[in-house]
Structures are given as structure tokens and as C-alpha cells.
Amino acid sequence: MKTTMRTVLLFFLAALPALAADGIAFISDMRGEVAVDGIPRPMLMSELAKGQKVAVGRDSQASVMFITSGKEYILKGPAEYLVKDTEIAGAIMPPVSRSTEWRASSRVLAQVANTSAASVRMRSIATPKAEVAGATSFPAEGSVASLQPVFRWRSDPAKTEFTLLVVGQDKPVHVARNITGGSYKVPAKLRPETEYAWVAVAGQNEIGSGKFRTLAPDALARIEQRRPSERAEFSDRLMFALLLQEMGAVQEARESWARLSQERSDLPELSALAR
């Protein structure tokens, strides 16, 4: 037991330099061998401070995005790079960069990095649990990034028709009957910045329910404006998941993390955030 706890403590202490307190940039992607200040395998989305060094191994790559400007640098190996005030300097030549419209929240970055790091550490010393099959009710917590959400529940093949009731401000706002399948999109828009509850039933049996809140119009507009295509850069889709997290759309954020995790099995942080 003492050996296990000592291992966990050493792992945590070793990760601290990569989770810089005065971060001005963060790791937005990485493949292969990457080290920060000599410590290998930093966590995805861990912050970097001025003066830190990022070493990238042969046939490896890392992306670093500055929090304030949204400028992203692509670091290719083998090479060592230095984090400066507003740019990344290479020992031989400057790395390739691109400008983006993303502006990361330091608070959300820290929250996500700490959550994923803790989850990855605990999973490394515990016996993995079997995944629970089937989709959970949606939306069931937090906010939703649409005024016409698609309600989902566990579909029972033996039950072919369902009834859905949506309640807002203590009165029914929508009732749908004879629904087949395990999902339903409301035909009319719900009100922004409003609390709702819903329940789906088959006969006398409840098969799905939840509570959620719709976002404000400006937040919804920002999400739609920043929604990336399926062919967008990995870091753009990662930043969109962070945006959903920042807006409180926690279930949709987890779904985004899950999709990224399926694409990048080499980054265990993503599967940790999808839980």
C-alpha cells in the first residue's frame, strides 16, 4: 500500500512543472515523444509558462496555443523549443504557426487538466471497470447548446411507442405521443435562459428523464459560430469541447471528448474527460 501511494505521489509531483501556475500557453495536441523541462509525457491541455522548454522527439509533434492570442505553433522533432512571451522560439528555426479565433479560459483549462490528470492517475493504479452499455438520458444535467435539443433515452425494443412531456416554468410546454425509437427533436424552439424538466414514458414505465437549462442567445450564437466541421484541425475540435465545458453544456462536452478519444487512443486524457 505504501509503495502504491508513493508511486502516485511521485507521479503527481513529476507532473507539476507541466501544469504551470502562470501559464501563458498550453499543449493543444501531441504525438509521440514530447517532454517539458525534461519531464516526459506532459498532459494534454497542461499550461506552459514563459521560459519553459518543450523537447520533441524524432517523428514526433506537439502543438502549443497561446491563451491570449489564440496563435498555435506546430512543433516538429527532433528539436527543442522555448516558450517566450508571445511566441515559440526554435533552436534552429522558428516553428510553423497559424492564427485562430480561439481564446481559451485559464479557469476551464485548469479545471479540465486537473480532472483528466486525476482520472488518468487513478485508472493507472486501479482495475478498469467495464463500460456501461447503452446511451443515458439527454439532456439530464447542466445546459444545452440548442433551443431545439434532441431528447434521448434508453430505448427498449419491447416498447415501440413512447410519450414525451416537457415542462418549463411549472407548466407543460410540449407533449409528443406515439414516438418510436429512442430520440425526439422538439419541433419548436424553447425559450433561452429557462429551466426545463422532461420525462419519457412507455405505458406506465419511465424510461428517461432529466432537468436542464437553455443558454442565453449570445452564448448560443457564439457556440454556433465556433462549431467546427468534422474535417477541422484536431485542436479546433478540442477547443470546441472546451467551449462547451465553459458554457456549462457538460453532457455535450463529454460527447465531444468521447469522439476525440475514439480518434486519438494515444491520449488517455480524452477518455478520462468523456466520463
Give the end-to-end CA distance of the chain in Å, rounded to a whole number. 27
pLDDT score recorded for residue 119: 54
DSSP sequence for 101-162: S----HHHHHHHHHHHHHHHHHHHHSPPPPPPPSPPPBS-SSEES-SS-EEE----TT---E
List the domain range (segments joined by +) for residue 169. Answer: 146-214
pLDDT score recorded for residue 181: 82
Whether residue 168 sits in one domain with residue 99: no
Number of domains comprising the chain: 2
- End position of a domain, from candidates 47, 76, 105: 105
Whether residue 157 sits in one domain with residue 80: no
Whether residue 94 sits in one domain with residue 31: yes
Residue 245 placed within a domain: no
Residue 117 placed within a domain: no
- End position of a domain, from candidates 194, 214, 234: 214
pLDDT score recorded for residue 117: 64
- For residues 38 and 183, what is the distance between their CA atoms, to the nearest angstrom? 49
pLDDT score recorded for residue 19: 43
- End position of a domain, from candidates 165, 182, 214: 214
Residue 154 placed within a domain: yes
For the chain, which residues score pLDDT lower than 50? 1-20, 122-134
Residue 136 placed within a domain: no
pLDDT score recorded for residue 12: 42
56 Cα distance to chain centroid: 25
pLDDT score recorded for residue 157: 62
CATH number at residue 196: 2.60.40.10
Cβ(165)–Cβ(173) below 8 Å = no
Residue 256 placed within a domain: no
Q: What is the DSSP letter of 43?
A: P
Whether residue 14 sits in one domain with residue 93: yes
